[in-house]
Amino acid sequence: MTSRLHIAPGLRGRRSSEPAAGHRRAYHKLPKRRRWTWITALACALAIVLPGAARAEQTPAELLADLEAEGFENLSVEKISDGQGVVITFENRRYRWEVVGLGVALGLATAHQEGRVILVPMHTGVPMGRIEVDASDYRAFLRGELSEEEIFSRMVISSEAGPYQPGPHSSSFGKVDLTFAPGVRINLVTPAPPGVFRGGELRLSPGVYSNLWRGLSFDATYVYPLSSSEPVVGRATGSINARVGTEGFFQAQAGRLSEGLDGFAAALVYPSKDGRHLLGASIAQAAYPGWDRTGSYQAFWTWRPTRYDATATFAWGKFLAGDTGYSLTLISGFRESNIEFSYTKTSLSEVLAAGFTVPLGWERQPRPAPVRFRFRNAFRFMYYDENPRPLDGGLYVPFMDGYQTAIRRWNRAYLRTYAHELREAARRWLPAEVTESRE
Strands 294-303 and 310-318: antiparallel
From CA 417, how far away is CA 58, in angstroms rounded?
31
Angle formed at CA 269 by CA 268 and CA 270, multiple of 5 degrees: 135
Four-residue CA torsion sign, 384, 386, 392, 397: negative
From CA 109, how far away is CA 103, in angstroms rounded?
10
From CA 10, how far away is CA 28, in angstroms rounded?
25
Confidence at residue 208, expressed as pLDDT on a 0 to 100 scale: 97
Q: What is the value of pTM for the model shown?
A: 0.83
| Backbone φ/ψ region at 199: left (φ over 0), alpha (ψ -120 to 50), beta | left
Residues 6+ apart with CB under 8 A from 22: 10
From CA 279, how far away is CA 160, in angstroms rounded?
15
The three-class DSSP label of residue 152 is helix
285 phi/psi in degrees, rounded to 5: -135, 105
Domain 176-417 fold is Porin (2.40.160)
The three-class DSSP label of residue 166 is coil
Confidence at residue 58, expressed as pLDDT on a 0 to 100 scale: 83
- HEC assignment per residue over 367-421: CCCCEEEEECCEEEEEEEEEECCCCCCCCCCCCCCCHHHHHHHCCHHHHHHCHHH
Q: pLDDT by residue for the chain (439 residues), tens digit each?
A: 444 333 334 433 433 344 444 444 444 444 555 555 555 555 444 444 444 444 568 899 999 999 999 999 999 999 988 778 899 999 999 999 999 999 999 999 999 999 999 999 999 999 999 999 999 999 999 999 999 999 999 999 999 878 899 999 999 999 999 999 998 877 765 544 444 556 678 889 999 999 999 999 999 999 998 876 788 899 999 999 999 999 999 999 999 999 889 999 999 999 999 999 999 999 999 988 888 888 899 999 999 998 899 999 999 999 998 899 999 999 999 999 999 999 999 999 899 999 999 999 999 999 999 999 999 999 999 888 888 766 788 888 888 778 999 999 999 999 999 999 999 999 999 988 776 665 6
From CA 420, how far away is CA 281, in angstroms rounded?
33
Instruction: State the CB neighbour count (10 A cutoff) for residue 344.
Output: 24
Confidence at residue 407, expressed as pLDDT on a 0 to 100 scale: 95
Confidence at residue 35, expressed as pLDDT on a 0 to 100 scale: 54
From CA 269, how far away is CA 131, in angstroms rounded?
20
From CA 302, how far away is CA 278, in angstroms rounded?
5
Confidence at residue 17, expressed as pLDDT on a 0 to 100 scale: 40
From CA 299, how far away is CA 318, in angstroms rounded?
9
- Domain ranges for the chain, please list them: 54-169+420-435, 176-417
Residues 6+ apart with CB under 8 A from 65: none
Confidence at residue 34, expressed as pLDDT on a 0 to 100 scale: 54
